[in-house]
Amino acid sequence: MAHKLNHHTLPILSIGALGGTVSMRATQSGTGATPALTGEALLEGISQLHEGLDVRVDTLCLIPSASLDFNLMLEVLIWAQEQVKLGVQGVVITQGTDTLEETAFFLDLLWNVDVPLVLTGAMRPSDRPSADGPANLLDAARVALDTQSRKRGVLVVMNEQIHQALHVRKTSSMALEAFSSPLFGPVGLMIENRVCYLRKTGARTVLPMPRSIHHRVALLPTTLAADTVLLEHILALGYDALVVSAFGGGHVSVDWVDLIDQITTEIPVLVASRTGSGPTAEACYGFIGSEMDLIDRGAVMCGFLCPYKARILIWLLIGAGMGREVAKHVQRLGFKAAEA
């Protein structure tokens, strides 16, 4: 149940807590941190969040983000949409950072309103002297309530930076500055407690809500001297699409090409770069297993989309009954990143 902290005539902010490091602490000395703090507990000690605001808090779950799934994120989306219908000016989700780049993109593809939806978390548990959760949450609230944030879709706020869901990646496992947007950079910064946007965001694409949730998308990485055992069983295992995390600009071993050729006749095959920065190519190399060869075999290059986000995109497209148009939408959205 939503917990109301101030009067209704004030600007309304809704916060949904999912758990993650921002909520974690060690239960006793020598033990590792685990989810412990509810949404209400996260706000304790952040007095600025209570100044001139009606803050509503719901603890939606209390788990590490590695255990989040598509079905749960659809429930989070519905909750956030309900908050908008209730008249809130902004919505904040707190969660673990392990999957933050993926959940942000998932929600962004389905967020069909102008009200800002901001995701944040923490790199240090709440019981550490240098815990970053309170500052990140306060910054996220300020971003969510800023009128400049409207029509920007889902944003990620971490370490005084504002990132677009399309571009943001977790690029460090433990550093405070764990999130960045390779090539593109943050869309904004927090400067002296003010929201400062650096550029506009491009036109957004919003997909229909998925009508089915039981389809599956496989993600296979390319590695040096990788065997073909998993690739050989993709169709037999009943996957509905395959994303290949490919070398460089979209390349695979010669040992993979015949299998990919077969798989593309049955299900969509997407090729994304495993490098972490830069797009897949389309017309650079012509060797067997190159991007040009794979395109000729029916695979779709994902442009600037990383493998993890490509998997989310195709899962949503198939779920919305747009499976026959997967190639068009994936390619358009993947290369559209360069224009954002």
Contact assessment for residue 312 and residue 102, using Cβ atoms and an 8 Å cutoff: yes
Q: Does the annotation list 98 as a binding residue?
A: yes
End-to-end CA distance of the chain: 37
Contact assessment for residue 303 and residue 147, using Cβ atoms and an 8 Å cutoff: no
Q: Does the annotation list 97 as a binding residue?
A: yes
Q: Helix H segments across the chain? A: 39-43, 70-85, 100-108, 133-145, 229-232, 254-263, 291-296, 307-319, 326-336
> Rounded to an integer, what distance in angstroms lies between the CA atom of residue 292 and that of residue 179?
32
Contact assessment for residue 137 and residue 145, using Cβ atoms and an 8 Å cutoff: no
> Rounded to an integer, what distance in angstroms lies between the CA atom of residue 271 and that of residue 247?
10
Catalytic site includes residue 21: yes
Task: Name the one residue in this structure whose structure tokens are 């593809």.
Answer: 109
Q: Does the annotation list 58 as a binding residue?
A: no
Say which of 21, 94, 222, 280 is annotated catalytic: 21
Residues belonging to the binding site for substrate are 65, 97-98
Question: Would you name the residues annotated as active-site residues?
Answer: 21
Residues belonging to the binding site are 65, 97-98
